[in-house]
Structure 1
Amino acid sequence: MQRPKIGMLNFGEVYAENEVLYLENFENYFYNIGSCIEKIQSPKKFVVVGRKGTGKTLLAHVVCKKIRSTSAIAEVESLKDFVFHELIHFQGVDISSTKYVPIFEWMIYINLAKHIVANDVDFDKDKIAILKEFLVFLGHAAGDLKLEKTIELTKKFESKTDGKASVFAFSANRTNAEGTTVKEGVRSYLENIENLKHFVITVLSEQPKPSIVFYDELDDKFVDDDEYKNGLISFLGAISRVNNELIKNRVRLKICTVIRRDIIDLLHSPNINRILEDNAIFLDWRSESVHETELFEMIAHKIKNSSDYYCRKDVEKILKEVIADTIAGEHFRYYIIHRTLGRPRDIVRLLSLVIEEYGHTLERFESYALSERLPSYSSYLKREISSELSGHLSPRDIDAMFELLQLYGKRSFTHNSIKKVYDKYKFSDKGLSLQLDEMLGSLFNVGAIGNYIERPRHEGGFCYYWSYNHYDLKVKLDSNFEIHPGLWDALRIQKPKCRL
């Protein structure tokens, strides 16, 4: 069998939504790190936590695709267009961080009703007709009911009550959707939650097939303020409450969500730690060790599924044949890990850039090819880090932080040396919301810079500390700093002859 060119190897897409769209049988290329597929299907696990680019979204789609043929409902719902700040209309007199739990419960049960209505095979047709009437009663006439539409419809629904709450009478004998009117209520949708919940759970309990619904892309409109964080805390609380109800009623359905680690670390609520400790799985690629991380097993797994030539070979044999042993003076494992943030997304991008240029000519990833494409990869990584900072900081602050590193121009620095550049170019007069120490802390938190300790080679050499390898690691301002090697080209940093 002829050895394939690297252009024949399929590493998937950089972003999960594109992989699901463009890669046939994408589930076969997914590397099941830490048995995450099995873990998220266990009854008590319903939150997937991981840094950006670690495979959370893809896991949700893989699980749904794998079980769809034997499930009543298996869907990934996007909250990409959901505006958390619109929830202010439903806070009432509650001022706690969980004040939006009821509106999220309402949204989840309406979404389940939508899926039941869409499934005319596995559910009772009379009950489907009742749920259709309810959606009309709410104000939904036709077409797909998006999650953000629930908020819009509920606001309109509230405004039509004129101080009184209209209650939909869920009954198997109903033939219209007129509803009944009860005494004045503060928020009329609350008068419908219990009836809707009871009816949906009854319908689901009659269905023996398992079901699962994932909520994804919560971070698309992320803003680091109290309103967003309270919304997210309430959302997690609502999912927990709904899942508890489903378990109590022996319903074989689970509501799940995926969320970025940097965002979850901002949330402060008595229930958050319980949810994370008992109900979450964490996608951790352990990139602090080039020999223990599963990132290279992931590469080999994708190659095996791309070509019959490699399908029966072990990991080390595949890597030896596909990647040059030494790249720019470093062993390929060190070279790849040191230029990524320890994420599958970064490795896929680095390799795909080489394939785009040399896919039809090379049988392996040669040193010169990786080095030649590194500047393009570096620009990608800078954009990725900027994207992660977005929401935490303003675009102006983000640009200023990278400008500071570029003006310094060297890979290593101390607090005193970078302060001289900060003062020389008068960053304190640029109207930024961050001072120097806050800039360094923010850059450290996203892995743009790290700390290191100098040690002689016989004691193990320099010891580096990167936040993406140690979740609770905080910046040490009195320690030495190094700019991430993956950013050197994008920031025009002077490179050493040898990284190690």
Structure 2
Amino acid sequence: MISDVKLSEIFIGKADGSDESQIDDFSNLFYRGNNKYDELANSSNKFILTGRKGTGKTILAKYHEMIQNNKGIFSKTVTKDDIILKKLVEMGSAKLTREEQRNFIKYAILTEIGELIIQNEAKCKKNLCSCKDKKLRKELKHHLRELKNVLNFRYRSFDNFVQSSLEQSAATEEELEGSLSSTLSLARSLRRASQSKKMLYTKSNYLTLINSLTDKIALLTTYNPITLIFDDLDEYDSSLNEDNINFLVDFLNITKKINQNVLKKDKKNNRIIVLIRQDILSTLNSNSHNISKLLQDSTIYLNWLIKMEGKPSDNPLIDLVITKIQRSNQRLWEYKKEEIFKMFFPDKIMKKPTLTYLYENSFGRPRDIVNYLEIIRQEFPDKTSFEASCFTAMEMRYSTRFLEELQNELYIHYPREFINECIKVFDLLHRVTFQKEHVEQVLTEYGNQLTHLKDASEFIGCMYKFGAIGMRIKVDIVSKKNKSKQTGYKCYWGYREDGRVNPDYNAEFIIHYGLKKSLIG
């Protein structure tokens, strides 16, 4: 079946879920075939949305936010910068004790809910009219006015800060600027203000407001349910050190308590949702004795890695791509999904079934497939299908981007210098398959170039855990035709649920197919 629709006339998706949520036809193009939206919308006790980086957490949350707003539920997404800004406004760059941190997290979440209510003040007042108790209705409106006054006083007027006689030191200014990360421009503005006035501005202690905010929000959200989504909190700090681990553990525990004790009515709609990467959740679980049960009861897990059985169009990951292709061009609406797959994809790529090739060259994530197809679509906009030759032509470009994604994922767990040296080891090995002894030889021969990587087991453990390498094990393969046995190989990958968690350091290892071009050419 031949398509007359050019690649430039279809939509595949965007690597960034926030960007995709901004397109005009977002609602129509969103994929619901894996039922994860229904699980999120209907599970009142689940508030953690997790999965590996690139599995679609943000886009799912954005779709849920849109649906909630369409239903009249006050909804918004909050990022790490909003939390960092609140900390700067309240405490500057001061280091908090564990108890102070817990109080600040509760305060920050409550003020975000309060701001969401105030942003929808007119609708809120209208909803409060549904309260039949006249005395209670009057009390609710009073709470709404007080909430607005408190938030305006603390965050919308620099003149309301209480002047302190403390002079802002240059060292504190530099620390302030570094703490704000991606909101550096505001940090610079605050620094210039302090330089010109030679004073530090503070306000009354936020701790005095927590109980009052809790009571007001508990009452107001009874008539005005909210959905507050926290995205990219796992990037609150550039490294996953003890302080950052404690912050994330505290954030999850406090979020659960607020969901249970403050947002008590209409729990499906009245909820705080937290997006966090699976690898980071695993680290939190390993470093905190009291979070395991919380994760078991409260988590929705995004995983696209399933056994490759049946038709390619029945595979959820391929179905996602086909759904976007079909819905993005009206000329394709009348076709079945199986027909669209045959229109746009070859039977085989490099002698492998297309589905097998795509899975072997990715981590089985939507972002990987979207990146590969989008590279081809932009390079060959006038073609009417993703020809096999297009995949091989763009293999290096895709592999480079695939490696960059992996490095970004690793940098939060390991020092940047260590990861960069691990990448260098592949180049020095210059082998698709290798054993531990080969790595040891490289470390011995090039030790002067590898000052942060000293142990072959450390290299193998890290690279296996995150999927850069797999284990290649000899197995007996039974022929389906005559039941005869012959020796073959099976690859195990640390990122797959059907893989092995820990590597056998005596095994043979193989570089991930999607990384070969960028790692060894």
User: What TM bracket, shorter-length normalisation?
Assistant: 0.7 to 0.9
Q: Is structure 2 residue 247 aligned with structure 1 residue 231?
A: yes
SS at match of 2:491: strand
Give me the whole-angstrom Cα distance separating, in 1, the residues matched to 2:419 and 2:471.
20
Residue correspondence of structure 1 range 119-198 to structure 2 within 5 A: 119-124=120-125, 126-141=142-157, 188-198=205-215
Residue correspondence of structure 1 range 424-463 to structure 2 within 5 A: 424-426=445-447, 430-432=450-452, 435-458=455-478, 461-463=488-490
Give me the whole-angstrom Cα distance separating, in 1, the residues matched to 2:234 and 2:68.
26
Give me the whole-angstrom Cα distance separating, in 1, the residues matched to 2:59 and 2:3.
32
Are the aligned partners of 2:399 and 2:518 in contact in 1 as well (CA < 8 Å)? Answer: yes
- Tell me the residue number matched to 1:38: 38
Give me the whole-angstrom Cα distance separating, in 1, the residues matched to 2:98 and 2:277.
30
- Tell me the residue number matched to 2:131: none
* TM superposition score normalised by structure 2: 0.79
Q: Using the TM superposition, give the Cα deviation of residue 50 of structure 1 relative to its aligned residue in structure 2, in angstroms.
A: 0.3
The amino acid of 1:197's aligned partner reads: T
SS at match of 1:48: strand
Residue correspondence of structure 1 range 14-163 to structure 2 within 5 A: 14-21=15-22, 23-32=23-32, 34-41=34-41, 42-80=43-81, 82-83=83-84, 89=94, 91-92=96-97, 94=99, 100-124=101-125, 126-141=142-157
Q: Is structure 2 residue 265 aligned with structure 1 residue 265?
A: no
Give me the whole-angstrom Cα distance separating, in 2, the residues matched to 1:476 and 1:50.
26
SS at match of 2:475: coil
- Tell me the residue number matched to 2:511: 483
- Tell me the residue number matched to 2:520: 492
- Tell me the residue number matched to 1:177: none
SS at match of 1:451: strand
Which of 496, 501, 504 is equivalent to 1:473? 501
The amino acid of 2:270's aligned partner reads: L
Are the aligned partners of 1:290 and 1:333 in contact in 2 as well (CA < 8 Å)? Answer: no
Q: Is structure 2 residue 434 aligned with structure 1 residue 419?
A: no
Are the aligned partners of 2:221 and 2:263 in contact in 1 as well (CA < 8 Å)? Answer: no
SS at match of 1:297: helix
Q: Using the TM superposition, give the Cα deviation of residue 490 of structure 1 relative to its aligned residue in structure 2, in angstroms.
A: 0.7
Are the aligned partners of 2:443 and 2:454 in contact in 1 as well (CA < 8 Å)? Answer: no
Which of 372, 378, 385 is equivalent to 2:399? 378
The amino acid of 1:217's aligned partner reads: D
Give me the whole-angstrom Cα distance separating, in 1, the residues matched to 2:450 and 2:157.
52
- Tell me the residue number matched to 2:338: 316
CA RMSD of aligned residues (A): 3.0
Give me the whole-angstrom Cα distance separating, in 1, the residues matched to 2:509 and 2:334.
44
Report which stretch shifted further, 81-90 or 412-421. Answer: 81-90
Give CA-to-partner distance per residue, 1:71-107, whole Å, 9 cap, x none. 231111111465599899474474xxxx733211111
Are the aligned partners of 2:474 and 2:489 in contact in 1 as well (CA < 8 Å)? Answer: yes
- Tell me the residue number matched to 2:304: 285
Give me the whole-angstrom Cα distance separating, in 2, the residues matched to 1:315 and 1:477.
44
The amino acid of 1:491's aligned partner reads: L
Q: What are structure 1's unaligned runs of at least 5 residues?
A: 143-147, 167-187, 494-500
Give me the whole-angstrom Cα distance separating, in 2, the residues matched to 1:331 and 1:136.
60
Are the aligned partners of 2:492 and 2:500 in contact in 1 as well (CA < 8 Å)? Answer: no
Give me the whole-angstrom Cα distance separating, in 1, the residues matched to 2:458 and 2:84.
28
- Tell me the residue number matched to 2:375: 353
Q: Using the TM superposition, give the Cα deviation of residue 140 of structure 1 relative to its aligned residue in structure 2, in angstroms.
A: 3.6
The amino acid of 1:352's aligned partner reads: E
SS at match of 2:331: coil
Q: Using the TM superposition, give the Cα deviation of residue 190 of structure 1 relative to its aligned residue in structure 2, in angstroms.
A: 2.7
SS at match of 1:122: helix
Give me the whole-angstrom Cα distance separating, in 2, the residues matched to 1:198 and 1:395.
45
Give me the whole-angstrom Cα distance separating, in 2, the residues matched to 1:483 and 1:472.
16
Are the aligned partners of 1:55 and 1:283 in contact in 2 as well (CA < 8 Å)? Answer: yes
Give me the whole-angstrom Cα distance separating, in 2, the residues matched to 1:33 and 1:270.
36
Give me the whole-angstrom Cα distance separating, in 2, the residues matched to 1:293 and 1:469.
16
Give me the whole-angstrom Cα distance separating, in 2, the residues matched to 1:2 and 1:391.
44
Give me the whole-angstrom Cα distance separating, in 2, the residues matched to 1:263 and 1:402.
22
Give me the whole-angstrom Cα distance separating, in 2, the residues matched to 1:491 and 1:19.
30
The amino acid of 2:68's aligned partner reads: I
The amino acid of 2:117's aligned partner reads: I
Give CA-to-partner distance per residue, 1:139-189, whole Å, 9 cap, x none. 5428xxxxx89xx99xx9x9857xxxx6xxxxxxxxxxxxxxxxxxxxx43
Identity %: 24
Are the aligned partners of 1:285 and 1:294 in contact in 2 as well (CA < 8 Å)? Answer: yes
Report which stretch shifted further, 60-69 or 380-389. Answer: 60-69
* TM superposition score normalised by structure 1: 0.83
Give CA-to-partner distance per residue, 1:320-349, whole Å, 9 cap, x none. 221011111111111111111110000001
Give me the whole-angstrom Cα distance separating, in 1, the residues matched to 2:453 and 2:390.
41
Are the aligned partners of 1:397 and 1:434 in contact in 2 as well (CA < 8 Å)? Answer: no
Q: What are structure 2's unaligned runs of at least 5 residues?
A: 126-140, 159-179, 195-199, 479-484
Give CA-to-partner distance per residue, 1:388-442, whole Å, 9 cap, x none. 1112112211111111111111211111122222222226x73205522111111
The alpha-carbon distance between structure 1 residues 227 and 462, as it changes in their structure 2 partners (threshold 3 A), is same
Give me the whole-angstrom Cα distance separating, in 1, the residues matched to 2:439 and 2:341.
40
Give me the whole-angstrom Cα distance separating, in 2, the residues matched to 1:214 and 1:372.
40
Give me the whole-angstrom Cα distance separating, in 1, the residues matched to 2:103 and 2:307.
42
The alpha-carbon distance between structure 1 residues 366 and 139, as it changes in their structure 2 partners (threshold 3 A), is closer
The amino acid of 2:413's aligned partner reads: H
- Tell me the residue number matched to 1:244: 260
Report which stretch shifted further, 128-137 or 85-94. Answer: 85-94
Report which stretch shifted further, 327-336 or 79-88. Answer: 79-88
The amino acid of 2:511's aligned partner reads: I
Give me the whole-angstrom Cα distance separating, in 1, the residues matched to 2:414 and 2:33.
32
Q: Is structure 2 residue 406 aligned with structure 1 residue 391?
A: no
Give me the whole-angstrom Cα distance separating, in 1, the residues matched to 2:270 and 2:405.
35
Are the aligned partners of 2:49 and 2:276 in contact in 1 as well (CA < 8 Å)? Answer: yes
Are the aligned partners of 1:346 and 1:381 in contact in 2 as well (CA < 8 Å)? Answer: yes
Give me the whole-angstrom Cα distance separating, in 2, the residues matched to 1:66 and 1:140.
29
Q: Is structure 2 residue 233 aligned with structure 1 residue 218?
A: yes
Give me the whole-angstrom Cα distance separating, in 2, the residues matched to 1:341 and 1:383.
13
- Tell me the residue number matched to 1:254: 271
Give me the whole-angstrom Cα distance separating, in 1, the residues matched to 2:514 and 2:436.
21
Give me the whole-angstrom Cα distance separating, in 2, the residues matched to 1:93 and 1:78.
22
- Tell me the residue number matched to 1:326: 348
The alpha-carbon distance between structure 1 residues 465 and 33, as it changes in their structure 2 partners (threshold 3 A), is farther
The amino acid of 1:422's aligned partner reads: L
Q: Using the TM superposition, give the Cα deviation of residue 47 of structure 1 relative to its aligned residue in structure 2, in angstroms.
A: 0.6
Give me the whole-angstrom Cα distance separating, in 1, the residues matched to 2:454 and 2:56.
32
Give CA-to-partner distance per residue, 1:42-68, whole Å, 9 cap, x none. 211111010000000111101111221
